[in-house]
């Protein structure tokens, strides 16, 4: 078995593993690691804004991309290289870029690959800030978009325009947990010459690998499950080398670089991602099954519940159902607010993927900038609650939610 031993070449980690010798996900996430000449066992932290050249000629050659090496931490750093290699291996992608936040990754994946006059076809069910990029930011620069409903994806060819260059998806979606067929998306993008970008934040590379279905670019808010403890911000843009070369040029000169410290934290967090996701998924499914049919709720939504609209599809392309469930409370906004205020253990904060369970009211927070009509189209009702199920004992979560439901009547 390959243990992903590495050599240091101009401060760049180079794996000695051949693709056919790949270890399991859990092993790669632990054993892919930068090593210096100090014989450290745990990854070193490279808090340096720049790197020293051996000669003027070496400096010239690195700037000319004739040889590899670290120049400036806005370009690359051993800690970010560590993280990128781990997540690329997990996703099955050729190359990647680490960014300062998830939204920097979403922005960079679009801005680096499109130009004025281009058009994006996107799934309507998207994170609120991504919606703002498509509807308010990119139109300033002449990049337009059209939304397609996931339930009607068979007719998306009718939404294509002569200048459509990109297909942008999020699956499972935030917060509605809608799932789109990645196999279909890969074939659709290939048939129409589109760049397929998939936000894989909710699933993580442990549960789902969009690249194997034909995605050219896979993005992550590493702030969420990859960190897993609510400590640092980070983002990732991964994909085919020809596209990442364009992303790399864009990010080098616009500066959304990930700090070495955050990269170090995220790389170390990858070591426990599989373990954590197994527990998140196990807990979430137990909580979802417990509350399905509860008289205080109009609906419970979770991809691995048979009642989920795309349950069969979730089983096809995901290893497990993820750590997010949604609860549709009867009584709308007033009831939802009373319910949140009655929770004693579960945190009220606009994050997810944490070791601690978190509750969010999307209509008044993360998706509040959408109009009521826009929220209705993606299934965000005033009574919808997004529950990021943490690593606590699932019975304690159930008790907290059950108490809040009773006391918010």
In this chain, the answer to whether the domains covering 6-270 and 274-407 adopt an identical fold is no
Q: What CA–CA distance (Å, rounded) separates 353 from 222?
A: 10
Average pLDDT over residues 136-148: 97
**Tens digit of pLDDT for each residue in 315-344?**
999 999 999 999 999 999 999 999 999 999
Is residue 49 within 8 A of residue 25, CB to CB? The reply is: no
Q: Specify burial of residue 188 (Cβ count, 10 A radius: 0-12, 13-18, 19+).
A: buried
> To the nearest whole percent, how much of the chain has pLDDT over 90?
88
Reported confidence tier of residue 36, pLDDT bands at 50, 70, 90:
confident
Q: Does domain 274-407 have CATH number 3.20.20.120?
A: no
> To the nearest whole percent, how much of the chain has pLDDT over 70?
95
Q: Does domain 6-270 have CATH number 3.40.640.10?
A: yes
Decide if pLDDT at 286 tops 90.
Answer: yes
**Tens digit of pLDDT for each residue in 228-274?**
999 999 999 999 999 999 999 999 999 999 999 999 999 999 999 99
Closest among 315, 107, 276 to 197, alpha carbons compared: 107
**Domain coordinates of the chain in residue numbers?**
6-270, 274-407
Reported confidence tier of residue 16, pLDDT bands at 50, 70, 90:
very low
What does pTM read for this prediction?
0.93
Is residue 138 within 8 A of residue 144, CB to CB? The reply is: yes
Decide if pLDDT at 9 tops 90.
Answer: no
**For residue 392, what are the contacts with CB-CB under 8 A and spacing of at least 6?**
283, 345, 356, 357
Helix (H) or strand (E) holding 98, with range, is strand 95-99
**Tens digit of pLDDT for each residue in 55-66?**
999 999 999 999
SS3 percent helix, strand, coil of the chain, rounded to 5, is: 40, 15, 40
Mean pLDDT of the chain: 93
Return the residue matching tokens 């209509």: 363
Q: What CA–CA distance (Å, rounded) separates 198 from 220?
A: 9
């Amino acid at each position: 078995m390959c243990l992903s031993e590495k050599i240091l070449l101009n401060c760049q980690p180079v794996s000695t593993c051949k693709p056919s010798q790949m270890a399991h996900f859990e092993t790669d996430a632990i054993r892919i690691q930068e090593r210096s000449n100090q014989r450290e066992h745990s990854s070193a932290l490279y808090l340096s804004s720049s790197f020293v050249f051996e000669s003027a000629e070496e400096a010239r050659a690195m700037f000319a991309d004739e040889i590899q090496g670290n120049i400036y931490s806005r370009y690359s750093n051993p800690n970010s290289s560590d993280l990128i290699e781990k997540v690329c291996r997990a996703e099955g992608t050729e190359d990647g870029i680490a960014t300062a936040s998830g939204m920097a990754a979403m922005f960079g994946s679009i801005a680096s690959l499109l130009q004025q006059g281009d058009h994006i076809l996107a799934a309507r069910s998207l994170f609120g800030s991504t919606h703002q990029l498509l509807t308010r930011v990119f139109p300033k620069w002449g990049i337009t978009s059209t939304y397609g409903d996931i339930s009607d994806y068979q007719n998306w060819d009718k939404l294509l325009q002569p200048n459509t260059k990109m297909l942008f998806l999020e699956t499972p979606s935030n917060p509605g947990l809608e799932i789109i067929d990645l196999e279909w998306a890969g074939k659709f993008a290939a048939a129409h010459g589109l760049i397929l970008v998939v936000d894989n934040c909710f699933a993580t590379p442990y549960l789902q690998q969009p690249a194997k279905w034909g995605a050219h670019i896979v993005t992550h808010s590493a702030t969420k499950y990859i960190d897993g403890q609510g400590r640092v911000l980070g983002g990732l843009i991964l994909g085919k080398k020809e596209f990442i070369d364009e992303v790399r040029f864009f990010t080098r000169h616009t500066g959304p670089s990930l700090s070495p410290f955050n990269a170090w934290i995220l790389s170390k967090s990858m070591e426990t991602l599989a373990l954590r996701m197994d527990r998140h998924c196990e807990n979430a499914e137990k909580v979802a099954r417990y509350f399905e049919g509860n008289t205080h709720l109009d609906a419970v939504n979770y991809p691995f519940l048979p009642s989920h609209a795309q349950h069969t599809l979730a089983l096809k392309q995901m290893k497990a159902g993820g750590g997010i469930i949604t609860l549709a409370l009867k009584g709308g906004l007033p009831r939802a607010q009373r319910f949140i205020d009655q929770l004693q253990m579960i945190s009220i904060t606009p994050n997810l993927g944490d070791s601690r369970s978190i509750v969010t009211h999307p209509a008044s927070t993360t998706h509040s900038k959408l109009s009521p009509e826009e929220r209705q189209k993606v299934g965000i009702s005033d009574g919808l609650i997004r529950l990021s199920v943490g690593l606590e004992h699932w019975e304690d979560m159930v008790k907290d939610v059950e108490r809040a439901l009773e006391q918010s009547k």
